[in-house]
Amino acid sequence: MPWYTGVATYAIIWGLVMFMVLPWGVRRIDPEDLGDMDDHGAPENPRILFKAGVTTLAAAVIFGLVYLVIASGVISFRV
């Protein structure tokens, strides 16, 4: 697998995993604490850096598995 295919594959896996991790632990802001310009669906504490770290580790593990399957020849993209 060329390096640019690996980077593209990792980026796709990372984006998919991020969308799976984003809803973890989301709590909405209490209606009493809302200001004039606050959104009712905004999370109270989104913890984006934590979720990005979890996503990076999970995507690395998944990419490693995908790479092993492709490199072992179990799945071949060559005709």
Residue 32 belongs to a domain: no
Residue 56 belongs to a domain: yes
Residue 11: domain span: 1-24+47-79
Quick one: CA torsion of 23, 42, 45, 20, rounded to 10 degrees?
10
Residue 59 belongs to a domain: yes
How many whole angstroms from its chain centre is CA 38?
26
Among 73, 20, 10, residue whose Cα is nearest residue 51: 20
Residue 42 belongs to a domain: no
pTM equals 0.80
Written as tens digits, the pLDDT of the chain (79 aa) is 789 999 999 999 999 999 999 999 888 777 777 777 777 777 888 899 999 999 999 999 999 999 999 888 888 777 6
Residue 17 belongs to a domain: yes
Residue 77 belongs to a domain: yes
Total of domains in the chain: 1
Fill in the amino acid letter for 51. K
Residue 76 belongs to a domain: yes
| pLDDT recorded at residue 7 | 96
